[in-house]
Structure 1
Amino acid sequence: MTSVYSGTAVVPGIGVGPAVRPAPRPTAPEDETAGDPSATTVAFGSAAAEVARRLRARAESAGGAASEVLATTASLAEDRGLATFVTKHATAGSGPATATTKAIEELATMFTAAGGLMAERVTDLYDVRDRIVAELLRLPEPGIPEPDEPSVLLADDLAPADTAGLDPTRIVAIATELGGSTSHTAIIARQLGIPCVVAVTDLKDVPAGEKVAVDGTAGTVTVDPDEAQVAALVEEDRRTREAAAGWTGPGRTADGHPVQILANVQDGAGARVAAEQPIEGVGLFRTELLFLERTTEPSVDEQADLYAAVFEAMGDKKVIVRTLDAGSDKPLAFATQPDEPNPALGVRGLRIGLADPGMLDRQLDGIAAASERTGADVRVMAPMVTTEAEAQWFAERVRARGLQAGIMIETPSTVLLADRLFRHLDFVSIGTNDLSQYTFAADRMAPTLSDLTDPWQPALLASIKLVAQAGQRAGKPVGVCGEAAAHPLLAIVLTGLGVTSLSCAASAVRAVGSRLSQVTLEQCQAAAEAALAASDNITAAQAAQAALQQPPA
């Protein structure tokens, strides 16, 4: 009998095939021998180092967002706090696997209590636990099966190391019971172009082997679907993908209204991949990767080399660089504030620069040096800005180096102050991931709250409209570089709200650009107004789609 499960749509497209599930995770044996505490600590250290080495190797070959989350997960394996907890349990008489399990459980409890982005890392912690335990017990590394035929992956949740290694020709769709639209699973699935639905209630009831159809546009998982219906959906998806593959840019609506289509990158390799797409530049260059793996701050020259690799890949196209967005779930060994009660609301983003202006100045020096070396069209923006004074302070430092200055709009305060902020700035870019979390006071990783952090929420769309209108009054551009920019239907609504550029994963560029090219600006505005008038996220998406199906006035 056909059954339909609903969740949050995060990557559009259709995937059909038998369901597969991750292999069981290893557990510490109940009768594990304790042994000498120092030997236990050494065994843990060796296993953790090997796990970190493998994750970093995958990070180097993955590129894009997958590389960032893998590198961050690797740092968890070698976290000093984790090692301290393991030593404590080893001293109390636990063997290596048991001490590791208990230590991770303590950290997971702390992360959960912290909430926000720290709670988001609990899945990563458990993945690190399982990989270290497997290494200690000399078991195969846990992960995702490699099916012989195109299959649909179902899971409670997926760790970054699992998602980043997926083969899109074998795993044609993903559905998870946990996670949200900005979870690591969603972000990496989008980078890989795999249709994905998250926060699917009761997904655990679907057994492996059942034929499943995942609709990443509608947000549904259908078990034992009707063959004729599936055939129609697959054909429609084929036509959509064909149209996207043939789109060559530049970004504009059917009646010629320009909307820049940009890419999110984090290193030279990712920028070179993005440059193969019909983009008009980089809308979000994440600079964290160089910092996250370091115990000391990288030099200006080291930074300049990394930035130059991205600038060179883009040639004469613009690059918007985001300064260090660390803190919270991305701690720095040399800068993170210790023992913050709520890191998601603590010293992160620009606040690190405010606390240590020299670090920010050195990063700006590196960006300026790379810009001068390559002759690139570079603009710089700061994350986690909350006041006009902060925006002015940052802009003055950027302009002193001959560069254009902007900020991320990620907090309600910057939405309300948008007109005043534009007095000091050349542009802004809206980070919908954090803006939704802070607007709704909702942990974006909590599956029970995923409807609140869905970018279709009318209140979030209203905030975007306010900022876009402020940009129009100032005659300055307003971009979106959160995950919302990668959804083709939502990209239409954002354009209708007045957004001037959309920056997304390189894999989503053609789908977004192609869909925009099929509608007029008037249709975009009608879809936007329909979504704004809706009562919730689900009806907002439905209303936007219905508005597009109306004949032109």
Structure 2
Amino acid sequence: MSQAQLPGVGVSPGRASGPAVKVTESISEPATTPSPEDPHAEAARVAPAAQTVAARIEATAATASGDAATILTTTAAMAADPALVSQAEQLVTAQRIPAARAVYEAANNFAHALTSAGGYMAERVRDVEDVRDRIIAELLGIAPPGVPVLTEPSVLIARDLAPADTAALDPDTVLALVTEEGGPTSHTAILARSLGIPAVVAVRGALAFEATAVAVDGDAGSVRAVDPDAPPVAAASSGPAEWNGTGATADGRPVGVLANVGAPADARTAAEAGAEGIGLFRTEFCYLDTDDEPSVADQRAAYAGVLAPFAGRPVVVRTLDAGADKPMVFLSPESEPNPALGVRGIRVAFDRPDVLDRQFEAIVAAAADSGAEVSVMAPMVATAEEAAWFTDRAHAAGIPRAGVMIEVPSAALTAHEVLDAVDFVSVGTNDLAQYTFAADRQLGAVATLNDPWQPALLRLLSTVGAAATGKGKPMGVCGEAAADPQLARVLVGLGATSLSVNAGSVRAVGASLAGVSWADCAGSVRAALDAPTARA
């Protein structure tokens, strides 16, 4: 390649340079032959291999902390998932194919389901692929693909990095990360920020980049060739952010620093990280592993497990964000030509209000069990009428505080009317960017359009912020935009009264806000809104 520099999306701040080391791609597709002489004996090999892989990942998780430990524990659970093992065993006996091939096909079925689900679930496909490759390698008796042993401080370049690989990285030898795929919400991004390693994702052509040494700018989102004889330069380490645990600007203006969670383990990690509450509790985890709607009792127990670490503190529960793009059997979804624009989120509730009412019942009970101060909010709201319908129903169910997510441009543009109908709003910047720019948030090729610094996105946020301030109602931000300590200041200047981020970003965001006055935040807004490009 003749290019001296490649653009991407900076997802973990800092600058570093050094030798480029490329990471091995996924394992080769296993053959469908030879057929096993004893299919039952061959099928019996799957479970022990999966358990071995799960045990190895759990051992790595035991040495990690924070986001890394949570993500690794979840990955280990994927490896030991009885559904994956069972499907692979059935494929061996029914199709008389080798165990390695059966695992490959079963895992790909799961990955396809997650891709169809979109959003947060689609971002877990790389995790499934990693588990798949590790189990296959165990069955074949070969080394799994992944990060090689580094003999000197280096910059890693990969198509994407699996969580088990990223979480085990040593910041003393890994100077920076560069991937061709991924985005601000990928595990690579979350863990890189947690480890303090500069990272740039969605760098098209990174693996074909001919430079033997590169410089990575995690702030500007760029990768460029440098002199291979120059000594490596590590990112300056500032250590853990100093923060007193109270979300506020330097002059005392309160700003809630909350966490995004999707399971009990996430909630425990967030509490340990110092989050003041939960700004986004994704309830889908309770529905994913069953063909039937969970009972109110089952939902109550599952929700209480998430709420428990935040007794006496605020928790915002997002109601079920399901639909044709997140197919759940009990909802009997119809096939749609464009699921991302179809019946999802609150639109499902219009068709099945009984499902929403049962979820409300479980939420009210779980709030009483845990002592958390619970609010609810609806996903994918497009109009003020929809917002009023949801809020009235939540209040009738005994939930005192109800709001909606602003993740559809129409809701942002009619924020004044929406705010008249609700108690608060929370901006989901990930989906709002996706719908504003018509750019799939899972597709690396268009990741630059989903950069939360995009002027068009910030101008929509300005509209919502002005409306919320004028109405005297809270506006939260719960997309990954809030996890950027610099952008967090702009969001507060735009009117955000709370920021909800991944657990690994809590302290950095809290410290960033504590280091500036409200006037500083407000002063940064005009420059950001007037910038012609995200990079500017």
User: What is the TM-score when the length of structure 1 is the normalising length?
Assistant: 0.80
Distance in structure 2 (CA, Å) of the matches to 1:227 and 1:517: 41
Q: Which moved more, 1:392-401 or 1:137-146?
A: 137-146
Q: 1:177 aligns with which of 163, 170, 180?
A: 180
**In the comparison of the two structures, how many residue pairs are matched?**
530
1:158-211 per-position Cα deviation (integer Å, ceiling 9, x unaligned): 345544555556545321022222334324434555432102233214579x55
Letter in 1 for 2:256: Q
Q: Residue 158 and residue 329 in structure 1: after superposition, are their counterparts in 2 closer, same or farther (change >3 A)?
A: farther
Letter in 2 for 1:217: D
Letter in 2 for 1:382: A
Q: 1:274 aligns with which of 266, 270, 273?
A: 270
Letter in 2 for 1:308: A
Distance in structure 1 (CA, Å) of the matches to 2:469 and 2:509: 23
Q: 2:246 aligns with which of 233, 250, 275?
A: 250
Q: Residue 226 and residue 261 in structure 1: after superposition, are their counterparts in 2 closer, same or farther (change >3 A)?
A: farther
Identical amino acids, percent of aligned pairs = 47
Q: CA deviation at 1:345?
A: 2.6
Q: Residue 30 and residue 438 in structure 1: after superposition, are their counterparts in 2 closer, same or farther (change >3 A)?
A: same
Q: How does 1:431-470 map to 2 (within 5 A)?
A: 431-470=428-467
Distance in structure 2 (CA, Å) of the matches to 1:342 and 1:458: 27
Q: 2:517 aligns with which of 516, 520, 526?
A: 520
1:336-383 per-position Cα deviation (integer Å, ceiling 9, x unaligned): 625443332334333343333333222222221122223322111122
Letter in 1 for 2:260: N
Q: CA deviation at 1:283?
A: 1.3
**Residue 284 of structure 1: aligned partner:** 280
Q: Which ranges in structure 2 are unaligned for 5 or more consecutive residues? A: none
Letter in 2 for 1:66: I
Letter in 1 for 2:222: T
Q: How does 1:362-441 map to 2 (within 5 A)?
A: 362-399=358-395, 400-441=397-438
Distance in structure 1 (CA, Å) of the matches to 2:7 and 2:180: 10
> Does the 8 Å contact 2:32/2:97 carry over to 1?
no
**Residue 146 of structure 2: aligned partner:** 143
Q: Secondary structure at the match of 1:245?
A: coil
Q: Residue 402 and residue 247 in structure 1: after superposition, are their counterparts in 2 closer, same or farther (change >3 A)?
A: same
RMSD: 4.3
Q: CA deviation at 1:453?
A: 1.1
Q: Which moved more, 1:117-126 or 1:267-276?
A: 117-126
Q: How does 1:41-440 map to 2 (within 5 A)?
A: 42=43, 66=71, 70=75, 78=83, 97=100, 123=126, 126-127=129-130, 129-145=132-148, 147=150, 151-160=154-163, 162-163=165-166, 166=169, 171-205=174-208, 212-224=214-226, 234=235, 237-238=236-237, 241-242=238-239, 245-327=241-323, 330-335=326-331, 337=333, 339-399=335-395, 400-440=397-437
**Residue 551 of structure 1: aligned partner:** none
Q: CA deviation at 1:9?
A: 0.6
**Residue 547 of structure 1: aligned partner:** none
Q: CA deviation at 1:448?
A: 2.3
Q: Which moved more, 1:64-73 or 1:377-386?
A: 64-73
Q: Residue 288 and residue 6 in structure 1: after superposition, are their counterparts in 2 closer, same or farther (change >3 A)?
A: same
Q: CA deviation at 1:39?
A: 6.2
Q: Secondary structure at the match of 2:287?
A: helix
1:263-287 per-position Cα deviation (integer Å, ceiling 9, x unaligned): 2223333333322344332211222
Letter in 2 for 1:499: A
Q: Secondary structure at the match of 2:504?
A: helix
User: What is the TM-score when the length of structure 2 is the normalising length?
Assistant: 0.82
Q: CA deviation at 1:407?
A: 1.2
Q: Which ranges in structure 1 are unaligned for 5 or more consecutive residues? A: 540-553
Distance in structure 1 (CA, Å) of the matches to 2:405 and 2:56: 30
> Does the 8 Å contact 2:116/2:325 carry over to 1?
no
Distance in structure 1 (CA, Å) of the matches to 2:383 and 2:137: 48
Q: Which moved more, 1:281-290 or 1:214-223?
A: 214-223
Letter in 2 for 1:245: A
Letter in 2 for 1:321: V
Letter in 2 for 1:444: R
> Does the 8 Å contact 1:395/1:425 carry over to 2?
yes
